[in-house]
Amino acid sequence: MEVTVSPLSLSEVVAALERLYPPHTASSWDRVGLVSGDLDQPVSIVHFAVDPTLAVIEEARAAGADLLITHHPLLLRGVHSVATTSAKGASVTALIQNGIALYAAHTNADVASPGVCDALAGACALVDVEPLEVVDGVGHGRVGTLASPLTLRAFVLQLSTVLPQAVAGIRVAGPADALVSRVAVVGGAGDDFFDAVRASGADVYVTADLRHHPVLEAREEARGGTPYLVDAGHWATESLWLKGARSELLRELGGRGTSLNTHICTLRTDPWDFVIGAATSDNTGGMS
Amino acid sequence: MEVTVSPLSLSEVVAALERLYPPHTASSWDRVGLVSGDLDQPVSIVHFAVDPTLAVIEEARAAGADLLITHHPLLLRGVHSVATTSAKGASVTALIQNGIALYAAHTNADVASPGVCDALAGACALVDVEPLEVVDGVGHGRVGTLASPLTLRAFVLQLSTVLPQAVAGIRVAGPADALVSRVAVVGGAGDDFFDAVRASGADVYVTADLRHHPVLEAREEARGGTPYLVDAGHWATESLWLKGARSELLRELGGRGTSLNTHICTLRTDPWDFVIGAATSDNTGGMS
Amino acid sequence: MEVTVSPLSLSEVVAALERLYPPHTASSWDRVGLVSGDLDQPVSIVHFAVDPTLAVIEEARAAGADLLITHHPLLLRGVHSVATTSAKGASVTALIQNGIALYAAHTNADVASPGVCDALAGACALVDVEPLEVVDGVGHGRVGTLASPLTLRAFVLQLSTVLPQAVAGIRVAGPADALVSRVAVVGGAGDDFFDAVRASGADVYVTADLRHHPVLEAREEARGGTPYLVDAGHWATESLWLKGARSELLRELGGRGTSLNTHICTLRTDPWDFVIGAATSDNTGGMS
Amino acid sequence: MEVTVSPLSLSEVVAALERLYPPHTASSWDRVGLVSGDLDQPVSIVHFAVDPTLAVIEEARAAGADLLITHHPLLLRGVHSVATTSAKGASVTALIQNGIALYAAHTNADVASPGVCDALAGACALVDVEPLEVVDGVGHGRVGTLASPLTLRAFVLQLSTVLPQAVAGIRVAGPADALVSRVAVVGGAGDDFFDAVRASGADVYVTADLRHHPVLEAREEARGGTPYLVDAGHWATESLWLKGARSELLRELGGRGTSLNTHICTLRTDPWDFVIGAATSDNTGGMS
Amino acid sequence: MEVTVSPLSLSEVVAALERLYPPHTASSWDRVGLVSGDLDQPVSIVHFAVDPTLAVIEEARAAGADLLITHHPLLLRGVHSVATTSAKGASVTALIQNGIALYAAHTNADVASPGVCDALAGACALVDVEPLEVVDGVGHGRVGTLASPLTLRAFVLQLSTVLPQAVAGIRVAGPADALVSRVAVVGGAGDDFFDAVRASGADVYVTADLRHHPVLEAREEARGGTPYLVDAGHWATESLWLKGARSELLRELGGRGTSLNTHICTLRTDPWDFVIGAATSDNTGGMS
Amino acid sequence: MEVTVSPLSLSEVVAALERLYPPHTASSWDRVGLVSGDLDQPVSIVHFAVDPTLAVIEEARAAGADLLITHHPLLLRGVHSVATTSAKGASVTALIQNGIALYAAHTNADVASPGVCDALAGACALVDVEPLEVVDGVGHGRVGTLASPLTLRAFVLQLSTVLPQAVAGIRVAGPADALVSRVAVVGGAGDDFFDAVRASGADVYVTADLRHHPVLEAREEARGGTPYLVDAGHWATESLWLKGARSELLRELGGRGTSLNTHICTLRTDPWDFVIGAATSDNTGGMS
């Protein structure tokens, strides 16, 4: 005997997402939530990705997705046109033409538990994990401890086996042979948290998108000591969250979710295509 | 018969530097010029560096320098204390305790001709070089042409042989085999110039300190085409200028400069110490 | 013998519109130009309206339009979502789903000659028309003279026969029997121009969307004298422009425009549906 | 035996007014309280009006008033001159020359209970009235229910019989025959309260001074449904308060008030003098 | 045979004042011009003062003045009330009750030639006087030379014989016996001009209202040398202008001015009433 | 048997100072704390002064001081250079070259109890002293009562015997013979506290650095009555604190402080050197 299940509506999925990632926990400058689509449209195939690029939208379309869930908002800066002359406009147009709803869980997913920072803490194999900083009752970043101390090099090598690979690899500022135990993490660009990292007593800070001046100033302030810095890549550190987000969403939907097909994006949206002249492990040792 | 030459005073050297790098050509937010020292002090040993770190100041001291000329200002943000509890204060204290004057030529050296961007254009082997953008009569960045078109990979490989090596190497966004001919360059962090680069018709843009979102949005806007992007490192792209600055200063001082000893900093002030998991040339080909 | 004409592309029509209404003449806060659509799409049916409401978009769709030209921008304030939960999002979605490009000519059409203010000056039967105020070389508003003086009541009655009818009619502040000759006009909301109106020596100022305090203060400043004020309705004063815009566009396209079908919106987008208790001509006389 | 009562001083009347309309409940941008006069001057004749225009001041003078109480502040924007070259200066000069104190109760009278919004709620015949929005403990606007549902047209017709007549009448956006029951009201310009109105579940919102864009956007957002909008005139909606203010003041003064003579302004300070072409009830039906 | 001269109107006097002290030459933050009065009122007695205090207004009233001309604006900050509860309101009320027009010529009189700074330069016995600084074509302050060098003490003693006496006397920072020749002057508070004074090569700067920190920092910057500083009192340095302003006004009015009576205020509006413990000339010598 | 006491470290002295003058009690715009020096350096001679001028630094150097404690911050505005071309840079350079740590306790010392305002209240011989105003739990200024009423002149004469002498003496606005009893005080520049002074019911307000306009407006507002104003000099009113600060520091250090030598600055850092033409007591009487 067959059982027919009525398909999920977008409004049901959005409600589940907003229970997992309450919009009010997002940063005030952020723009999270539903970007395109109609709450009454049915949802049967969901695609998860870090960035809503044109290629990702095309991948979702080819997969028959009617909902694309991304970490980064498509329209963080407001747009006054959706003409295809701009990439943002072309993306909006492609989403609507193909009936794909887009939903973004950004800084609200960063702070959620489980969320982006928890996924990175897990990739670092941390225990006794707690928020790096609590602001207005919301915990940002994570700090925890390794099961046993590792050299900085060994710690990063371990992390590199878990992170999805981007061509630039993982950059490290600190002595390769120093032992580290306490680790702070912030997925994506984390240069706003240097003060909290110092206050946390972390030996090493894993984040991404670090630039010359903040890193050099932080290293000067540390006088060569801790916290050491690890730039593990914006896309790489955040893409860790996608699988967990899928699991959480399905769990949250309960029996209603059984009709869903889900896909994790297979494209690397780290924008760099290749690297020339990066130090290999061998010559690295000589330089550090 | 002996000839005794009176030593140069700091005021003479500063005057020469300000003819080469007029302070009024610096950006309004910048803070260039003399940071420490007394205009009447004699100058006999001059040290050149990109960053006035504590290690660089120590290197200058060990070399007996009485003047340190850097690209980056030590006190871009104003300080209210020079106690050694902060790295900035410790740097100021070390300079004064060791009688080392510090002089910064920053955005005024970027736009000077010859200057930082010219040095990078030279490293790229460009001909027919002109300013990338002219604002209020001052030319920012450079754009020029390769003697003959190269693949993007060959262009960057050539550049990598000329740039000082930093552990992260050079990151490239674009197809390795695409031919490029017109090249825009901005030493250091150049993400404010994307519009000018697009307007210039450049095939590739060489700069540094690029982050995930601006790069991804620029690549989306380019729909995979030109301009391709090359992040060649903040320190690496700017350190090219040091030798030219020394030559220009000595030339500007003429006979008065014969008493000077000069040194180029031998320390790499790129803050990264090692890299794990960066793609090698071989696996790069497979990924791009 | 048949002649086949290749259809116009959106880019050709946009180019013609931007010759008629150069975007750089728009106010700095304004957002004019292409709002949706692809420059390569063909254009054969063009719809003209004051406001891009959902009903207007539906009217355009029913007419088979592939281009909607409006006076008011749809996205004057930037949007971060085009989900159909908001009216703006529903409008964008309807435009894209139906392949309708949207183009807005707003303050650049106000100042153009011929443009919105010229159309209103024409409806007022003005001669010797000149700009009310010239700022940075751009003429805003218009001021001119009646062929022969009229009473304020007769002037407005004449105007009411030419303006499209909105339920609120035309509000007048001033004595009905006073003679007026010199008339200033600004289509739409014109309360920023009171100083220019006073400087122009106008007897009466025709504009729209006037509120209690600015009107009362202007009347106090005039001590009951000129300039008298006429609020002729935002939609009504601007809808006068639509026919002229069509003519201008067709003229600008020349032979290329022969393939176009054009429609003027038949909907009243003045938002008021009915009025209770407004004074009729008869009781008006008694009150003024 | 005669009883002589010492006349009231201005300070006694001001104290009573500030108990009724505490100045700290006014909006931060507002300027309420005593505008002219001396606290020691005697008060025997009090005039009440919405606007302190030159004609109102003359009416007060002719009535022998020594105190004029208005809703709108004369000097909401600070003045740097009271020369009679400006209308504001002429008003100040007339007040002082004629010994008339001026007192304004504006947003503090809007929020008072009873106050301006209560008077409008009463005119709408609402029951179960409560604040529309509470901010920092102060209730703004009112929302309540009709004793029994009415059509939108019937509701507004009823209101028009209670409101003082202004030439423009009452503008309505919404279907004349729709039934309405829950009504939100804000006297004067109320376009800052659209969000609160939507949150209140009101079927219709009665306020004034509404302009094209906010009304059209609110109607679009409502997709033709509720809340319907009623613009009942700035002066008309606020003049309802005058009689209540008089009663409250006399009640507050108790026996001390028996010496006062009071007058309600008989002038219509709505600035519009006549209307041309407004729809009558009959043609309205056809248009809506 | 008698000749009757029609009395001057306020508008004629204002026109003459605005030719002498064009309002557009005032600083952007300043508020100059007519503060009270009616342009049609006759003017026969004019009172001149630095400050429009209540006592000065009373002096003008007692003198029968119908016009008070002051240097300082009464309403530099805008007022929202002219009730007598504030001193500003009491002043406005007194002016209007007594039919006294008030006119302020402030920074436009500072820069006029002849004007406030010229009067101070004259009191200092300067020759070869030129503007201290020219901004947008308007000359601010003055700088000139003494006929022959004087000691700082002798220079200030000479100045003290010409300035009206205020109880605090003249404060001097600098060595009493140093010779000075080039003198910069700014009437009233001149601490915005320290850079211009240094650039002018002045040996001494005469101005007023100087506070501890600016003076101490200027003395530190001067390392004990020039420019020395003289604080000669705000009221004293500006009151020098009153007689010249009277002469200029009468000259500008020509024959029309013959009907005017004029008075210079006899009140000292320097607010200090007495001084305790100031150094006398004798003990001064010992301290400096 | 000898007892050797280990010298105090700068960090111990700073810790004691921050217990006495908690940095978080300073105003938000202020910059208090350690300005130069190294927390590990020994401290054996401490110098106390109001202002860290070059002469004061030289006095401290000559005294062999290794710590200078001042009331005014050296670098209230951030500096981008410490070259000796500026006085600030010369000061920083002199401090570092001579191994002198500089510590500033400014607005945190003003509000401390005992602190700057208490010292001034003591000099005024006040009893029943309480804060003039409490903001966020911190008491600013002081207000108290004289043991028995004095004439204003007698009160100031008494104060003049206690204050260190500066050449300008003490300026007073008010009638010399009026009796005063309740006195408000704020050391240094106190013109931000006029409202609090009025609210306190003080008969007289003792502060410093008062300028023409605030004083004249305050006197106008007082209509000649209280509060009278006393400008007792910025340096003079604050230098009263130095001895108490020394005592408090030694007390706070307990036995650890026995190794310290301390000095109070003997230089007058009031910048004025002499005064010409100030009223003596005798002629003062005649003027007031």
Please give, one letter per residue, the 3-state secondary structure of chain D. Answer: CCCCCCCEEHHHHHHHHHHHCCHHHCCCCCCCEEEECCCCCEECEEEEECCCCHHHHHHHHHCCCCEEEECCCCCCCCECCCCCCCHHHHHHHHHHHCCCEEEECCHHHHHCCCCHHHHHHHHCCEEEEEEEEEECCEEEEEEEEEEEEEEHHHHHHHHHHHCCCCCCCEEEECCCCCEEEEEEEEEEECHHHHHHHHHHCCCEEEEECCCHHHHHHHHHHCCCCCCEEEECCHHHHHHCHHHHHHHHHHHHHHHHHHHCEEEECCCCCCCCCEEECCCCHHHHHHHC
Cα separation, C221 vs F42, in Å, equals 75
Residues of E within 8 A of F226 (CB-CB) are none
DSSP string, B124-190: TTEEEEEEEEEETTEEEEEEEEEEEEEEHHHHHHHHHHHSPP-TT-EEEES-TT-EEEEEEEEEEE-
pLDDT of residue F285: 37
What is the C-alpha radius of gyration for chain B, rounded to an integer number of angstroms? 20
How do strand A204-208 and strand F228-231 relate by DSSP bridges?
unpaired
CB contact under 8 A, C76 and A80: yes
Contacts with F, B 56-75, CB within 8 Å: 73, 75
pLDDT band for position F6 (cuts 50, 70, 90): confident
pLDDT of residue F260: 96
Helix (H, G, I), strand (E, B) or coil at A264: strand
Which of A36, A191, D5 shows the shortest CA–CA distance to C96? A36
pLDDT in tens, F183-232: 999 999 999 999 999 999 999 999 999 999 999 999 999 999 999 999 99
Q: Could you say which DSSP state residue C23 is in? A: G
Asked if residue D131 has a cis previous peptide bond (ω within 30° of 0), the answer is: no
Closest CB to A165: pick one of B156, B213, B277. Answer: B277
User: How many residue contacts between B and F have a Cβ separation below 8 Å?
Assistant: 82
Question: Each residue of C238-262: pLDDT tens digit?
Answer: 999 999 999 999 999 998 989 999 9
Predicted local distance difference test score (pLDDT) of residue A6: 81
D155-208: per-residue pLDDT in tens? 999 999 999 999 999 999 999 999 999 999 999 999 999 999 999 999 999 999
DSSP run (H or E) holding A287 = helix A281-287
Mean pLDDT of A105-113: 98
CA dist list (Å): A227 to A34, A200, B166, B268: 38, 10, 21, 20
Query: What's the whole-number mean pLDDT along residues A195-220?
Result: 98
Residue B230 has pLDDT above 70, yes or no: yes
The tokens for B192 are 């404010």
Contact A216 B53 (CB under 8 A): yes
Q: How many whole angstroms separate alpha carbon E125 and alpha carbon E121? A: 6
Whether chain D has a CB inside 8 Å of the CB on E33: the answer is yes
DSSP B32-86: -EEEES-TTSEE-EEEEES---HHHHHHHHHTT-SEEEESS-TTSS-BS---TTS
pLDDT at B5: 64
pLDDT for the residue numbered C2: 54
Distances (CA, A) of E152 to D6, E166, E197: 67, 20, 17
- How long, in residues, is chain F? 288
Comparing B55 with A255, which gets the higher pLDDT?
B55
Q: What pLDDT sits at residue A285?
A: 38
Residue F280: predicted pLDDT: 76
Residue B287 has pLDDT above 50, yes or no: no
Q: How far apart are the first and last CA of chain E?
A: 69
Residue C282 scores a pLDDT above 50: no
Q: Which pLDDT belongs to residue D160?
A: 97
Distance in angstroms (rounded) separating the CA atoms of residues A36 and A99: 9
Residue C224 CA to residue C220 CA, distance in Å, equals 7
Q: What are the backbone angles phi and psi of residue B226, rounded to the nearest 5°? A: -80, 155
Q: Is the pLDDT of residue D45 over 70?
A: yes
Dig out the tokens for F219 from the structure. 């006197």
Half-sphere exposure of E16 (CA within 13 A, CB side): 20
D198 part of contact set with chain C, CB < 8 Å = no
- B touches A, CB cut-off 8 Å, minimum 3 pairs: yes
- Mean pLDDT for chain A overall: 95
Average pLDDT over residues A157-179: 97
Residues in chain B: 288
Judged by average pLDDT, the poorest of B276-280, D282-286, F17-21 is: D282-286
Question: Could you tell me which chain D residue has the CA closest to the CA of E10?
Answer: D83
Phi and psi, residue F114, nearest 5°: -75, 150
What pLDDT does residue C6 have? 81
Q: Which of F36, F110, A275 is nearest to B86 (CA)?
A: F36
Statement: residue E283 has pLDDT above 50 = no
Amino acid at D49: A
CA A214 – CA A209 distance, rounded (Å) = 11
What distance in Å separates residue E86's CA from the closest CA in chain D?
Answer: 10
ipTM of the complex: 0.95
Mean pLDDT of chain F: 95
Q: Provide the pLDDT for residue B6.
A: 81
Helix/strand/coil for E166: coil
In this structure, are residues E232 and E206 in contact, taking their beta carbons and an 8 Å threshold?
A: yes
D39:E85 CB<8 A: yes
Per the prediction, chain C carries an average pLDDT of 95
Tokens of F15: 């810790």
Give the pLDDT score at D6.
Answer: 81
- The pLDDT of residue D73 is above 70: yes
Nearest residue to B35 via CA among F102, F88, F76: F88
3-state secondary structure of F9: strand
Enumerate the β-bridge partners of residue F204: F183, F228
Please tell me if residue B36 touches chain F, with a CB cutoff of 8 Å: yes
pLDDT of residue A280: 77
Flag whether pLDDT at E104 surpasses 60. yes
* Substitution target from F237, F273, F282 for chain E, most E beta carbons within 10 A: F273
Q: What is the DSSP letter of E79?
A: B
State whether D80 and E35 contact (CB < 8 Å).
Answer: yes
pLDDT, tens digit, 9 for 90 and up, residues D223-269: 999 999 999 999 999 999 999 999 999 999 998 989 999 999 999 99
Give residue-wise pLDDT tens across range C40-54: 999 999 999 999 999
Q: Residue A275 corresponds to which amino acid?
A: V
For residue B13, what are the contacts with CB-CB under 8 A and spacing of at least 6? B43, B46, B67, B103, B249, B253
**Cα–Cα distance between B129 and B109 in angstroms, integer?**
17
Interchain contact E53–F (C-beta under 8 A): yes
Does the structure show a pLDDT above 50 at E162? yes
Identify the H or E element spanning F118.
helix F116-123
Torsion of CA C141, C147, C153, C154, to 10 degrees: -130
Q: For chain C, what is the radius of gyration of the CA atoms?
A: 20
Q: Is C179 helix (H, G, I), strand (E, B) or coil?
A: strand
Specify the range with the lowest mean pLDDT, choosing from C162-171, C272-281, D81-90, F277-286: F277-286
DSSP 8-state secondary structure symbol assigned to residue E240: T
Strand order through the sheet with B204-208: A274-276, B170-173, B228-231, B204-208, B179-189, B138-151, B126-135
Token output for D227: 């809340």
Contact F39, F11 (CB under 8 A): yes
Neighbouring chains to C with at least 3 Cβ pairs closer than 8 Å: A, D
- Is residue D81 within 8 A of residue E33, CB to CB? The reply is yes
Q: Quick one: average pLDDT of D46-50?
A: 98
Task: Determine which of D28, D81, D85, D106 to mutate to test the interface with E (most E C-beta atoms within 10 Å).
Answer: D81
Q: Is the pLDDT of residue F284 over 50?
A: no
Percent of chain D with pLDDT over 70: 95
First to last CA, chain C: 68
Query: Does C188 sit within 8 Å of D212, measured CB to CB?
Result: yes
Measure the CA–CA gap between F109 and F99, rounded to whole angstroms: 25
- Distance from C-alpha of E36 to C-alpha of E97, rounded to nearest angstrom: 11
Predicted confidence band of residue D3 (pLDDT cuts 50, 70, 90): low
Q: Could you tell me the CA-to-CA distances from A163 to A160, A267, B170, B211, E128 in Å, in that order?
A: 5, 14, 21, 19, 78
Q: Is E43 near chain F, with CB under 8 Å?
A: no
The predicted pLDDT at position A284 comes to 43
Confidence of residue E281 (pLDDT cuts 50, 70, 90): low
Flag whether residue E192 sits within 8 Å of chain F, measured between CB atoms. no
Q: Which residues in chain E have their CB less than 8 angstroms from residue F239's CB?
A: none
Which residues in chain E have their CB less than 8 angstroms from residue F275's CB? 168-172, 278-279, 284
Average pLDDT over residues E101-122: 98
Contact F83 B31 (CB under 8 A): no
Residue D77 has its nearest CB partner, among E33, E38, E78, at E78
What pLDDT shows up at residue A287? Answer: 35
pLDDT at D78: 98
| Residue percentage of chain A with pLDDT more than 90 | 93
- Report percent pLDDT > 70 for chain F: 95
Q: Which of C211, C230, C275 to mutate to test the interface with D (most CBs of D within 10 A)?
A: C275
**C-alpha count within 13 angstroms, C-beta hemisphere, residue C20:** 26
Chains with ≥3 CB–CB distances under 8 Å to A: B, C
What are the distances in angstroms from CA A48 to CA A104, A238, A264? 10, 12, 5
pLDDT of E238 above 80: yes
Residues F49-72: tens digit of each pLDDT: 999 999 999 999 999 999 999 999
Q: What is the pLDDT of residues E32-64, one digit of tens each?
A: 999 999 999 999 999 999 999 999 999 999 999
β-partners of residue D206 are D185, D230
F2 pLDDT higher than 80: no
Summarize the confidence of residues A40-62 as an average pLDDT. Answer: 98
Q: Given this model, what pLDDT does residue A288 score?
A: 33
C120 pLDDT tier (thresholds 50, 70, 90): very high
